[in-house]
Amino acid sequence: MEAAHQLFVDQGFAATSMRQIAEKAGLALGGIYNHFPTKESIFAEVIVAYHPFHQVLPLLKAAPGDTVEAFVRNAAKSMIAELGRRPDFIKLMFVELVEFEGKNMPHMLQTIFPQVLPLVVRFTDKQDELRGIQPFVLFRSFLGLFFSYYMTEFLLVNMPANLFPKGSLDDFVDIYLHGVLAEKDVI
């Protein structure tokens, strides 16, 4: 799994052969086929095994905050810090999206979703602080906040620093929590 992960990250799926995986793992080619019928089945397991949810979910569950706003701000900082330590993840997701067109996402979500439920409950426990939006839509948009920030940081890393002022994560969180429209005085 480790050898396949590294090759998929470095070369992509199509450019990685079963023979390369076997050589990097120090195994005979036939030995791999005893455990995995295809290269696709290896990738399906790699994307779940190396998904950062293993590290991120405990951080999110432990994020402090007595209010939804405090929780979201603390969770955002924890999640972005952890994702920043995992540049391999974004490359794996690009392989999944480009080479597999998201085919492995249902399997990945089936594995991850039961572990996410406590976070959804944490949102719904604070219903008096939230608009009447379905809990899973709220949580999906919550994850979207992180990934949009993470993706733009990854893709635009070589842009001039003035385009990425310090505290831009706080701005993303603020937009998530309060929207983009200025408050208008009601007469």
User: Taking the chain (187 residues) in consecutive chunks of 10 residues, what is each chunk's mean pLDDT?
Assistant: 95 95 93 91 92 83 88 88 83 88 87 80 78 81 81 75 70 88 71
- Please indicate, yes or no, whether residues 124 and 169 belong to a single structural domain of this protein: yes
Cβ(63)–Cβ(71) below 8 Å: yes
Residue 66 resides in a domain: yes
Instruction: Tell me what pLDDT residue 167 has.
Output: 67
pTM, two decimal places: 0.75
- Predicted pLDDT of residue 161: 62
- Predicted confidence at residue 145, as pLDDT, reads 82
CA distance 78 to 75: 5
Domain of 18, in residue numbers: 1-50
pLDDT at residue 22 in the model: 94
Residues 72 and 111 occupy one common structural domain: yes
3-state helix, strand, coil in the chain (%, to 5): 70, 0, 30
Residue 140 lies in a domain: yes
Total number of domains in the chain: 2
Q: In this structure, which amino acid lies at residue 126?
A: K
